Structure formats: structure tokens, C-alpha cells
Structure 1
Amino acid sequence: MKSKLKSKFIIDLDLLDVNKPIAGIEAIRELNPQRHEMEQLTAILYEDLDRNVCAAVKSVTEDEFWCRGHMPGMPLMPGVVMLESVAQLSSYFTQKNDLLGADIVGFGGVDDVRFRGIVTPGDDLILMVELVKARRNRMIIAAFQGVVNGSIVLEGTLRGIPIPIAAVEEQLARKG
């Protein structure tokens, strides 16, 4: 499936206010399992179930785990961390609205990803997703964008899949 790379924003930026989130980190933690340095969302800014869109902010600080090594003296948010942020937003929206019917939503893949700018400490990375397709118990597909200071820095299409918790626990038990 080709994503529709857009010159317009998924959500009108005028609707998003980082100072007035609709859900904070505790609400995100209720639905997403990531903790500590792997938490990549600061707050949820907007949701519209009629349009199947959601927006969040990742406030990037100098204390991010990647700053010291990517790259020394020039900290640039790694693309893979930007993608993780989008995946976490997609998971939050999917879980909140029970769109997949899964205990956990995992990364299923990305398509047509484009990095169009940089993200550095001090930036508010605005993340937006638009659910394109949901096949219960199978997969979700979401178009996404990342925006810093009104410019798109990231866009593409993400696939989310159900994670079978029992199978993961069984595999870990075999190793333990």
C-alpha cells in the first residue's frame, strides 16, 4: 500500500496546543507498556474518532538516552526513535479505542518513510496519525507525520500488529 505523502497536515496545527494536553503520561501508561527511556510520548494533544486521527507531543530534552552518542556535540534524534514515537502514538489510539482487539500492539512495519528535517533537544516533536485501515485481530495501517516548528520532519505509513503475550511469555520461559 502506498502512503499518501501529503504537503498538508493530517491535523490542522491550530487545533494542537502543547500547553493544553488532553491526556498526560499516566493516561498513556495505562495503554502503552513502554517505560523509562523507551517512553517516547509526553502527552496526547488531540483525538477525533470520527476521522480516526490522533496527535501527541514528544518534548525532546537534553536528557534523552541517545543524546550522548547520536552524535557527540551534535545531538540529532535518531530516525528509528522518531518511528518508535509514532508507533507508540498509533498503539495508544488503537488500544484506547479497541480497534485491533489485542493486548499489545506491536510494530508490523513502515512504508514510504521520509525524513525531511531534524529533531534536536529543546524541540517539541508533534506526532500525528490517521488510521487508514483496521483489520481486527490482524493489523492496523496508519498514515503519520512528525512536525517541528510547523515543518514536516517525518512522514510515512505504519503497520501495527497484535502481539501474542502468551507466546512471548512462553518463549521467555524457555530461555529462563
Structure 2
Amino acid sequence: MALLNQEQIKEILPHRDPFLLIDEVEELEPGVRAVALKHVKEDEDWFRGHFPGHPVVPGVLIVEMLAQAGAVCALSLPENKGRIALFTGINDVKIRRQVTPGETIRLEVELIKLRSQAGVGRATATVNGERAVTGELTFMFLKD
């Protein structure tokens, strides 16, 4: 059962359709870790061009999904309410598996460094227990 549904996620993240890329949050320790899910539907807009006849979720979108899960974790802290987290770096990312329509991506991010202006998260996306994407994401908060 979801801890946060998409409407509750919208109370934390500024992202909106078509760029809100997580459907629910299953686990959340604000400022520590988050686990979110993306249920990949056959009618996702990016499949029209990536790739016709062989739909594959773009790896960079999975990285963005991980970033959004990490942003939920960081922005759930009361002192970060209403802030915006921006990417500043993507390190050691490995795309290990194709993700296709009908699959559910489990997005886990652990914040390994969090300061008042920036942070770093260790991120792993899995499908059916298989690693799909791993890496380290760095971000900064947009100045208030």
C-alpha cells in the first residue's frame, strides 16, 4: 500500500504532468531515504519515439525518476518545505537493464550527504529485483 499517492507527492514536489515521473511512495524517512514506484504504462508519451515497434524507457528518464524520489526525501523535511531541488551532477550512473511497458520500477534513494544548500544521494532502480539503473545524484536547493 502506498504511503503517498501522486496527489500527496504533488504537495512535496513542484513537478507536474507530463514531467511528474513517480506514481507513489512506498517508504519514506525524511532526509534519509525514500522508495518510490513508477508503473510504466504502454501509452507513456516517450514511447512514440523511443522506439517505435520496440518501446524502451529512456535511461535518462529513469535517472530523473530517481532524482524525483530523492527530492521527495529531501523536501519532506519541514525546513525544506516549498523549496526546489535542482540537479548539479550525475556520477557513476550505469544503465544495466532495459525497462519496457507493463513493468514497475522500484526507485530507492538514500541521501548520503544533506546540507542546507545541497546534497548527494545513492540511487538504485530495480525491476523485479533486477538492477536497472544505479548511480550517485547530486543536487542543490534553488535559492529561496
Under TM normalisation by the shorter chain, which class is it? over 0.9
User: 1:159 Cα shift?
Assistant: 0.5
Question: For 1:56-135, what aligned pairs fall within 5 Å after superposition?
Answer: 56-98=36-78, 103-135=83-115
The answer on 1:25 being equivalent to 2:6 is: yes
Q: Which has the larger radius of gyration?
A: 1
Structure 2, unaligned runs of 5 or more: none
User: 1:48 Cα shift?
Assistant: 3.1
User: 1:34 Cα shift?
Assistant: 1.2
User: 1:98 Cα shift?
Assistant: 4.3
Q: Distance in 2 between matches of 1:33 and 1:100?
A: 13
Q: Secondary structure at the match of 1:67?
A: helix
Distance of aligned partners of 1:126 and 1:156 in 2 relative to their CA distance in 1, 3 Å threshold:
same
Q: Distance in 2 between matches of 1:159 and 1:97?
A: 17
Q: Is the 8 A contact 1:109 1:159 kept in 2?
A: yes
Counterpart among 111, 123, 142 of residue 121 in structure 2 = 142
Q: Secondary structure at the match of 2:37?
A: strand
Q: Distance in 1 between matches of 2:128 and 2:12?
A: 28
Q: Distance in 2 between matches of 1:99 and 1:157?
A: 23
Q: Is the 8 A contact 1:108 1:160 kept in 2?
A: yes
Structure 1, unaligned runs of 5 or more: 1-19, 166-176
Counterpart among 134, 138, 142 of residue 159 in structure 1 = 138
Deviations 1:33-52 (A, max 9, x none): 111111100000012358x1
Question: For 1:33-44, what aligned pairs fall within 5 Å after superposition?
Answer: 33-44=14-25
After superposition, the CA RMSD in angstroms is: 1.7
Deviations 1:41-78 (A, max 9, x none): 0000012358x121000000011111110000011000
Q: Distance in 1 between matches of 2:82 and 2:111?
A: 16
Deviations 1:137-157 (A, max 9, x none): 2x1100000000110000010
- Aligned residues with identical type, % of pairs: 31
**TM-score between both structures, scaled by the size of structure 1:** 0.77
